[in-house]
Structure 1
Amino acid sequence: MLVQKGQVLKPRWAPPLSSPCASRSGKTLGDFPSDHICLEAQEKTATLCETLGHEVVSIEPPDFEYSNFIDAIVTVMAANITLTARTRLASEQRDPTADELEPAILDGYHLGTRLSAPDYAVAINRLHATGRMMAQMMEGYDLLLTPTLVSLPMELGTIAMETADFIDYRRRVGKLTPFLAVVNASGQPAASLPLWRHAGLPVGVQLIGHFGREDIVLRLASQLETSELWRAAQQWPDATAI
């Protein structure tokens, strides 16, 4: 966690800051191991925060059934795909076609048509429980510092909506983005900062704040963006050397 000992942006005084580093041990909320480059970027950011006057500590993430969480996201997204498509095509009284939706989204539409009201309620309750879990984990701290992704950016097409399996598509996305997915569900403010670069690829770290505390996220993000680490990461390498 990051606990501020002084000011973040002068001349204003900012509230104390704290940020548990959930993957310091290499463990993520989804229990997918983070790439060492992503963890190195997180560690360097934590060290930078310490040099700026913040206290940094590590915490272990709580037990979390991430696969069930992703299934809940799949349910909610499929239901919304179906609602959106039916609203758009209501006057024509027909289903969308393969010419109108990408294969994964079309499969999500058909999945949504098979869902029941209890299915949707269970999924929504699971997302709400995730928000409560995040709030409890961050109790006493102001910010959570995590990698943005658990691996380096993938090549275009590695995860693509050309697959006609919406569930498989969302599960593969979820394995890459566990720290982003939980924030989408909890509604917490967050900022992804490309503070590191490896082989020409940006490597991000994420600041997650408490619900309604965008101000603290933005204050620390602004401070980090004045650092040498940020300036170095913005220097694009010669493309021929990548």
Structure 2
Amino acid sequence: MDFREYREHDAVALAEMVRNGEVSPSELVDAAAEGLDAWNGRLNAVVESWVDQARQTCQSNAPSGPLAGVPFLIKDMLEWEGHAMTLGSRLLDGYDSQSTHPLVERYLKAGLLLVGRTNMSELGLMPATEPIVYGPTKNPWDVQRSPGGSSGGSAAAVAAGIVPVAHAADGGGSIRIPASACGLFGFKPSRGLTVEALDEVPEGFVSHHCVSRTVRDSALLLDLSTGVSPGSRWRPPATRSCAEAAQCDPEPLRVGVMFTDFLGEALHPACRAAIEKTARHCEDLGHDVVEITPPIDGLAYRAAFSQLWAVGASFFLKRVRAELDTMEEIPAPVVRLLRLPGTLEAALRAAQVVGFPMVEPLTLRLARHSDRMSPADLWVIWQQLNVATADMTHFFDDHDVLLTSTITQLPWKTGSYDAAGQTLEEIEESLFAYAGLTPIANTAGLPAMSVPLHRHEGLPVGTQFIGPHGADGTLLSLAGQLERAQPWVEVATRGE
């Protein structure tokens, strides 16, 4: 099987072909390697190839499981013991994982063959994928544009057909934003649905799952990723099989559609056109679609989430420092940093001054801002986020799903966003003007998805659906229904 034939199939189909003896896992790995050679030089989606190890696995121990033999990529933030992980930061350049994340264990048990790790923004903080440590990832539909972020490497690789599905993670839209930019299906599960590590981000803001070309790939992988792990703080919401849900049409749904962002501001015309098109499809399928105004106080929410974003930068840096402190052998690039005295923030600042930029300037600015906050500031932030969560909860008293755009503009041109010279308030405003529709699902722990039903001059434009907590099956049923009515499976071919 060559690359062109290989990428015509999704993961479910490839696994079935392996089970029927039509193709071997080794042939699939070879096809993925062919795709990697053909595309990655242009896209910079995969920052490290594990193809040779995958080939050895096929020879020494035939994979088994529901997705046996299917090539798979993981974002550069999941630990696989003995393998590199950097979180997109020079701070961890040279770091080898000390343990294996429970989700990686699930992937291996499912028979997936891990063929590499994908690029991401530093610490997953930006809705574009342009880390200094590896350089920018390009969008396969338009290499002058970003594939979104922070899971941009995974999305670009799937859109190009290198793998049919890839791991992604979402702490404010990082699955849905790149899915929109790259013409993929991107699903963020309800809080607590997938297994997690003991040291995951507090309050479950980050949800791990995937980007895929088909709904059924995402649904099956979600079934294989659910459950309680030793590190779980949440009990998974009761839900039927996601794979079964994706195959069944939902009952008629009450769809609230919003044609603005959460501040009531207008969207790019292409984004509005995408919503209008999706709303018409929903009506054609028998759903009740009603236009609504923003269900939350967008300005108050933006201010609170932006403060939490800064806290996230400081949290990740402190977590990295704690992890490095437990290692017997510290990666050489970090040794100089660790010898600097004082707090982590002070050490990072000093490292910048002496010309040793271990983290990117924006990350450092956010961490500094966070470290100036008082406990009372955090309580105020939390109270504002809880108000927004309550507002969303009550919205679903009268609606089954919320339909919005995924992002409010077309994907950024690569390298076009520069925070230098901007105040934090200006950065907050510009980021939310681009990606302000996705974070509320993380704050409230809600399932959400981006579906690829629209194109603007050849560029994908996704639309977002958000549902109440635990309604993952409902969203997947709707996604499957839309996919059957308006098939969207397509891989990028530009530049070939």
TM-score (norm 1): 0.81
Equivalent position of 2:474 in the other structure: 216
Q: Report 1:134-173 matches (<5 A).
A: 134-160=392-418, 165-173=423-431
Q: Does 1:130 align with 2:393?
A: no
Equivalent position of 1:67 in the other structure: 299
Equivalent position of 1:52 in the other structure: 285
* Secondary structure of 1:220 counterpart: helix
Q: 1:116 to 1:177 in 2, by over 3 A?
A: same
Pick the aligned partner of 1:85 from 309, 317, 320. Answer: 317
Q: 1:114 to 1:193 in 2, by over 3 A?
A: same
Equivalent position of 1:36 in the other structure: 269
Task: Give the C-alpha shift of residue 221 in structure 1.
Answer: 1.0
* Secondary structure of 1:20 counterpart: strand
Aligned mates of 1:119, 1:83 — CA distance in 2: 16
Equivalent position of 1:100 in the other structure: 358
Task: Give the C-alpha shift of residue 70 in structure 1.
Answer: 2.0
Deviation sequence 1:59-109 (CA, Å, 0-9, x none): 222462x23322212222222322332343365444224411111110001
The runs of 5 or more residues in structure 1 that have no matched partner are: 1-7
Task: Give the C-alpha shift of residue 46 in structure 1.
Answer: 1.2
1:145 touches 1:207 (CA, 8 Å); kept in 2? yes
* Secondary structure of 1:195 counterpart: strand
Aligned mates of 1:161, 1:183 — CA distance in 2: 25
Deviation sequence 1:121-172 (CA, Å, 0-9, x none): 1011111111111122232211111111112222122334666755433331
For CA contacts below 8 A with separation 6 or more, give which structure has more relative contact order: 1
Q: Does 1:76 align with 2:303?
A: no
Task: Give the C-alpha shift of residue 181 in structure 1.
Answer: 2.2
Aligned mates of 2:441, 2:470 — CA distance in 1: 13
2:271 touches 2:461 (CA, 8 Å); kept in 1? yes
* Secondary structure of 2:484 counterpart: coil
* Secondary structure of 2:254 counterpart: coil
Percentage identity across aligned positions?
28
- When the two chains are superposed, the root-mean-square deviation of aligned CA atoms in Å is 2.7
Q: 1:149 to 1:87 in 2, by over 3 A?
A: closer
2:448 touches 2:467 (CA, 8 Å); kept in 1? yes
Deviation sequence 1:25-75 (CA, Å, 0-9, x none): xx33122211221111111111111222222222222462x2332221222
Larger Rg: 2
2:446 touches 2:466 (CA, 8 Å); kept in 1? yes
Aligned mates of 1:19, 1:105 — CA distance in 2: 38
Read off the aligned partner of 1:83 and give its amino acid letter.
F
Aligned mates of 1:41, 1:133 — CA distance in 2: 26
Equivalent position of 2:78 in the other structure: none
* Secondary structure of 2:427 counterpart: helix
Moved more, 68-77 or 217-226: 68-77
Q: 1:184 to 1:158 in 2, by over 3 A?
A: farther
Read off the aligned partner of 2:256 and give its amino acid letter.
P
Q: Does 1:227 align with 2:485?
A: yes
TM-score (norm 2): 0.42
* Secondary structure of 2:408 counterpart: coil
Equivalent position of 1:4 in the other structure: none
